[in-house]
Structure 1
Amino acid sequence: MLVPGASSQALAAALASELGESLAAVEYDTFPDGETLAAVPGFDADTATIVASTASNDAYIELLQLQDAVREAGAREVTTVIPYMGYARQDKAFEVGHPISARAVARAVSTTTDRVVLVNPHEDAIADFFDVPVEIVDAAGRLAEPLPELHDPLFLSPDSGAIDIANTVRDAYGDGETDYFEKVRKSGTEVEITPSETDFDGRDVVITDDIIATGSTMSEAVAVLTEGGANRVFCATVHPLLARNARTKLCRAGIERVVGTDTIEREVSAVSVAPAVADVLER
């Protein structure tokens, strides 16, 4: 039985359809003192697959409650699908006395599940923080589907570390070149982008990344491309977090369109990762 977190209801429904499984009735509530409650009244299955992105602290508490709730209801086997894992970028201590937050939340999740499935974590090494088996889904290829017909396409990643995503989207699209920008981060919200050596004048460009958070990196890249003569510029991201004024930044920079998946359910979520996740769950 599929058990949806509050922020992953559409994805859980799509995944239930892919797998031919039923969808649990879940109740979400918040008490006057701010404490949350996630419950599964009527749950009566031997196995549970919880689908819950953790883009907030409350979402993590909700996930832990759902895992505990299905165990309490008699589930013998629990699989936890985390489409978007919050804190994944805090995978090391920034200085002495700081936590490795990704490890802390991974250990907490591990206490009441048997298996974890992650979709494009920021670093694959995140899997090592869990105390249960972890499988990683690469859903980047799904981003090619909503793209329009492109003229002489160029798929760019904001830095060398994300070039694999650019290659995956390009391969799924079936045409084009790939390259990356040189990026220097000046602060948590300020980056400096240096154009690649690839000629993008008159071409359609797709900037790909695993996540768009504040939009600072993407908007700077878009501005460089539009000012340099690119024809149309698109952003394709697995995790469209789009925090704060990210959408405004991208629009002001001259973006044609942002496309994302439903790992984080936003209005730009043009394609579902459900088929890719279902492939892993059915192995």
Structure 2
Amino acid sequence: MPRTTEPKLISGNANMPLAKAIARRMSLHRGVNVGLVDARVERFNDGEIFVEVYENVRGEDMFLIQPTSNPANDNLMELLIMSDALRRSSAKRITAVIPYFGYARQDRRAKARTPISAKLVANMIAEAGIERVLTMDLHAAQIQGFFDIPVDNLYASPVFALDIKHTFKGRMGELMVVSPDVGGVARARELAKRINSPLAIVDKRREKAGEVAEMTVIGDVKGKTCLIVDDICDTAGTLCKAAEVLLENGAKEVHSYITHGVMSGPAVERVSKSVMKSLVLTDSIAPTSPITKAENIRIVPTAPVFAQAILNIWNGTSVSSLFEQDTLGPIYDGMYETE
């Protein structure tokens, strides 16, 4: 079959700025223009999604960029329908680039008579003709096992480590990484190891979803600059409360590094009025206008690491090499200083 010498990118409507940024980065790496495949993704009056691809994709290695963020159902259906359109157009392989994997928090049956929606979504993705998934910071690592196709799970911690070493240069000795709950200890420990910092935990007890009844700090945070690390910030209630508890326990100041800024409802207002000095998010979910206008919220780009991961998949080379700072540092070409 005829095949171009470059990978082909196509994007849904969920995060077009990130898709364009990935295309720009790939163009720089390849030395040729890598653009997004021309297509239209529209809705009929009753909300049904319609997709039409204007370019020939027969025999091509396609990378479909679409986080399944809010509105999760619409963006998920866009992903599935676009994949079906590409499969029926004889694309050689379809890789779904899902920077934020929605429904990931429904990864187990916490109570009787509840679904495991993450597994259902995995089945739907595979059935739609997608042969590989590239994502970042899955809420639970075992979700990779829900798929019967290869899943590459990138980590934000190497990018965060670069940002921290740049932002807190000369103050690294006073940093302490904090997990906002026991379940996120492995993620926090990974970052703490990268920046050679101690680790603390905020143990929380919930009465019901969205409400935190009690918090206890495990570890000595007195005089420390605390960095709260988590994968998702939804309503920001837990995050803001954890920052208050850390300061009450003697922390000097509190910053937060969160991979996916879901930022539902009052989240932005809560963060703006909170005691946190800063909240750092990635652009895995397209930031809204209130997020970009908030003085204490900052966005770090993921396009460089996603662009390189796509090229590695296309070339058949290692994706896990991007987990190391020595490999990742040059990709961010001077944005952060490396040691």
TM-score, normalised via structure 1 length: 0.91
Paired letter, 2:63? T
Alignment-derived partner of residue 27 in structure 1: 40
Q: 2:201 aligns with which of 167, 180, 194?
A: 180
Distance 2:266 2:51 in 1: 30
Is structure 2 residue 248 aligned with structure 1 residue 227? yes
Kept after mapping to 1: 8 A contact 2:108/2:116: yes
Higher-RCO chain (CA-CA 8 Å, sequence separation at least 6)? 1
Count residues in correspondence: 282
Aligned partner of residue 186 in structure 1, secondary structure = strand
Distance 2:93 2:67 in 1: 20
Kept after mapping to 2: 8 A contact 1:52/1:83: yes
Alignment-derived partner of residue 305 in structure 2: 276
- Using the TM superposition, give the Cα deviation of residue 79 of structure 1 relative to its aligned residue in structure 2, in angstroms: 0.5
Alignment-derived partner of residue 141 in structure 1: 158
Alignment-derived partner of residue 39 in structure 1: 52
Moved more, 266-275 or 63-72: 266-275
**What are the equivalent positions in structure 2 for 1:95-134 lying under 5 Å apart?**
95-111=111-127, 112-134=129-151
Q: Which runs of 5+ in 1 are unaligned?
A: none
Alignment-derived partner of residue 62 in structure 2: 48
RMSD: 2.1
Is structure 2 residue 6 aligned with structure 1 residue 6? no
Alignment-derived partner of residue 323 in structure 2: none
Distance 1:203 1:89 in 2: 31
Kept after mapping to 1: 8 A contact 2:105/2:139: yes
Distance 2:298 2:47 in 1: 29
Q: 1:70 aligns with which of 86, 92, 107?
A: 86
Q: When you count helix as a share of all residues, which structure comes out higher?
A: 2
Moved more, 53-62 or 124-133: 124-133
Distance 2:249 2:112 in 1: 43
Kept after mapping to 2: 8 A contact 1:48/1:75: yes
Alignment-derived partner of residue 333 in structure 2: none
Aligned partner of residue 196 in structure 1, secondary structure = strand
- Using the TM superposition, give the Cα deviation of residue 6 of structure 1 relative to its aligned residue in structure 2, in angstroms: 1.1
Aligned partner of residue 255 in structure 1, secondary structure = coil
Q: For residues 86-140 of structure 1, what are the alpha-carbon distances to aligned partners after superposition, in whole Å with 9 as ceiling and x for unaligned? A: 1111012344433211111110011111111121111111112122121211122
- Using the TM superposition, give the Cα deviation of residue 165 of structure 1 relative to its aligned residue in structure 2, in angstroms: 2.5
Paired letter, 2:25? E
Q: Percent identity?
A: 30
Distance 2:205 2:17 in 1: 37
Q: For residues 200-251 of structure 1, what are the alpha-carbon distances to aligned partners after superposition, in whole Å with 9 as ceiling and x for unaligned? A: 2332211010111111211110111233332221111011111111122233
Q: Which runs of 5+ in 2 are unaligned?
A: 1-7, 28-33, 318-339
Distance 1:201 1:66 in 2: 52
Paired letter, 1:75? A
Is structure 2 residue 185 aligned with structure 1 residue 154? no
Moved more, 243-252 or 15-24: 15-24
Alignment-derived partner of residue 91 in structure 1: 107
Q: For residues 9-30 of structure 1, what are the alpha-carbon distances to aligned partners after superposition, in whole Å with 9 as ceiling and x for unaligned? A: 2222232233333322232322
Distance 2:107 2:218 in 1: 31
**What are the equivalent positions in structure 2 for 1:252-271 lying under 5 Å apart?**
252-266=273-287, 267=292, 268=297, 270-271=299-300
Distance 2:91 2:14 in 1: 22
